[in-house]
Amino acid sequence: PKRTGKAHAMQIELVETFLDLCDTRSFNRTADRLGVTQSTVSGRIRSLEKSLDRRLFQRNRSGTSLTLEGLRFEPHARALRVGWSEALRATRDAGPTATTLRVGLQRDLTSPQIGDWVRAFRAYLPDTALYIEADFSTQMCNDLMQGILDVAVIYTPKPHPDLYFETLSEVRFRMISDVADTLAAIPADSYVQAAISDAFDRLHKTLLPGLSASAIQCGQNSLTSAMLTALGGSGYVLEDTAADLTATGRFAYVDRAPVIPQPVYSAIHLRNRHRSSYRKLIQLLGAHVPGHRGSDPG
């Protein structure tokens, strides 16, 4: 049974990679979003195709597209993911607590401050279990619609009649560099472009058109930070991360580089919009998300 459970978990990992690639249509982008290498993504897709004895993607100069078999498999893959999540939820809910609230967090926002929120949540609802996972906005919106998550903290709302969004906060990204002190001197060939969200990308392109076609793009703050630490260069990272990196003495803030804000939103299913426990949960989340400027809820 233990070996079977591991096998199922591995298969779900393949399915998750397949579904992410359905969204991005880019092996590089999916690798970035999942925090793995491109070769890992390719290996997972090959394993899945071997299991199904079908080719799921077609790769050519114009990009990556689903084959007919891939299009047919996609709805079944989504059903497999929902079934697996429901199975996990059932086992997690089988403890001494009567209820489990499932919260998804944008990957960039899993900072030490989240511990303060968990303590506040436990004080408010001591008999409620808490399940937390980190993911990307599009996936969390899908999970909310399918009932896999109860509340999500995201960068990019995905409009849908069944979802309700509120602005929680705003985080700020600042440019740091170990190769130049001023914006005009930033070399494009060593620039690491943070690809945080559609809104972030649009503003970045407007403010910094000359640095918006970088050969290296990262969809996570942690990846951008790791890339800069390993290779050097310039790039935008979260304000807290920028403070930590400049404190080492290696990096410095780039003079005249604009601060780029990124709104943070809460997302819930519309049916839960007026439930008091959900309202309190969102209030507590808002007070402890990095960048929050309001007061701690009572």
User: Tens digit of pLDDT for each residue in 225-261?
Assistant: 999 999 999 999 999 999 999 999 999 999 999 999 9
**Where are the alpha helices (H) located in the chain, listed in sequence order?**
2-24, 27-34, 38-52, 68-92, 114-124, 137-146, 198-207, 221-231, 239-247, 276-288
Q: Which CATH number is 2-89's, of 3.30.160.250, 3.50.50.60, 2.70.70.10, 1.10.10.10?
A: 1.10.10.10
Mean pLDDT, rounded, of the chain: 85
The correct answer on CATH 3.10.580.10 for the domain covering 97-169+263-288 is no
CATH 1.10.10.10 residue ranges of the chain are 2-89
The CATH class that applies to domain 171-262 reads alpha beta
pTM to 2 decimal places:
0.65
| Per-residue confidence (pLDDT) for residue 117, from 0 to 100 | 79
**Which one-letter DSSP state was computed for residue 274?**
T
Q: How far apart are CA 199 and CA 42, in angstroms?
A: 29
Checking if the pLDDT of 86 tops 50, the result is yes
Phi, psi of 11 (to 5 degrees): -65, -40
Which pair of structure tokens corresponds to residue 185? 């001197």
Least confident of 35-44, 76-85, 130-139: 76-85
Per residue in 97-111, is it b (16+ CB within 10 Å) or e — as a string?
eeebbbbbbbbbbeb
CATH 3.40.190.10 residue ranges of the chain are 97-169+263-288, 171-262
**Which one-letter DSSP state was computed for residue 289?**
S
Question: The tokens 């506040």 sit on which residue?
Answer: 120
* pLDDT level of residue 8 (50, 70, 90 thresholds): low
